[in-house]
Amino acid sequence: MRSLYRTLGPELTRSIALVCLADALVGLSFGAIAVSAGFPLWLPMLLSVVVFAGASQFLFIGLLAAGGNPFAAVAAGLLVNARHLPFGFAVADVFSLRRPANRRGRWEGGPAPEAPTPRDRLRRLAGAHLLTDEATAFALAQPDPARRRAAFWASGVTLFVAWNISVLLGGLAGAVIKDTDALGLDAAFPAVLLALVLPSLKDPATRWAALIGVVVALATTPVLPAGAPVLLALVGVVVVALVRKARPAKEQPVHTARGEAA
């Protein structure tokens, strides 16, 4: 535990704890909403353990509560979670038990195996289940592989525990709390995520990608099903990447043997 804390550092540890707190508030809201809508406590708990995706869980319960078809609710949840596919590619290195290759192209600790071991597969399966927006964001924000792996697993495990405990507590309180929106619990999590994202907007390219994504999401929200606008918002990242690729590289000065620019 001390080694993990040293790797993460106090600032990253506080950020993960803050997100867990906000996630717990949303979990309380989800459990209370599900039980107050007439569902048994085991249903939101089962969803939280097996699905572990807040947006999909809210959507599933909401559609069922409105009299929707269970198969349609599952399809809608899969659509919302489709964004996790590129997330998995982005953080695939954190699922490995072995350290990445060094500068000479060799794996540290010995040669890389030709096929993954059963332990590798189990680790990847657990990592895929713990893959969330928050864990991905924490991992990608780290400068080196060790901190990236530590940030992913620390945030993923703590979020899983915090979410399931809070859903249980919210479900137990569901008979008492009738209007969860009046408490503002649904706004706590987006507010914390916004606070974590704001520092990255100092980069002009990131600002443009975010702006394009916001415009696309707002324009398509009234006409597309839930989850689709979030996926289309990734167009902002694609546009900025294409612009960067098309922009000609700046000419670098050629230096002579004396160190003078030619």
> For 101, phi and psi rounded to 5 degrees?
-65, 145
Question: What pTM value is reported for the model?
Answer: 0.65
First-to-last alpha carbon distance for the chain, in angstroms, is 56
Contacts of 197-203 with C-beta under 8 Å, sequence gap 24+, read 197/137, 200/141
> For 155, phi and psi rounded to 5 degrees?
-70, -40
Distance CA 243, CA 62 (A): 40
Q: What is the reported pLDDT for 180? A: 58
User: Which two tokens mark 210?
Assistant: 């975010």
Do residues 170 and 32 make contact, with C-beta atoms less than 8 angstroms apart? yes
For 178-230, the DSSP string reads S-GGGGTHHHHHHHHHHHHHGGGGGSHHHHHHHHHHHHHHHHHTTTS-TTHHH
Distance CA 167, CA 27 (A): 5
Give kind and range of the element (H or E) at residue 98: none
Do residues 19 and 192 make contact, with C-beta atoms less than 8 angstroms apart? yes
Do residues 169 and 145 make contact, with C-beta atoms less than 8 angstroms apart? no
Q: What is the reported pLDDT for 45? A: 93
User: Which two tokens mark 45?
Assistant: 């708990």
Distance CA 17, CA 33 (A): 24
Q: What is the reported pLDDT for 259? A: 44
Q: What is the reported pLDDT for 59? A: 77
Q: What is the reported pLDDT for 105? A: 46
Q: What is the dihedral of CA 246, 88, 187, 207, to 10 degrees?
A: -10
Mean pLDDT by 10 residues, the chain (262 residues): 68 85 84 85 91 83 78 78 78 66 48 64 84 84 83 90 92 70 58 61 78 86 72 75 67 45 45
Q: What is the reported pLDDT for 75? A: 80
Q: What is the reported pLDDT for 257? A: 44
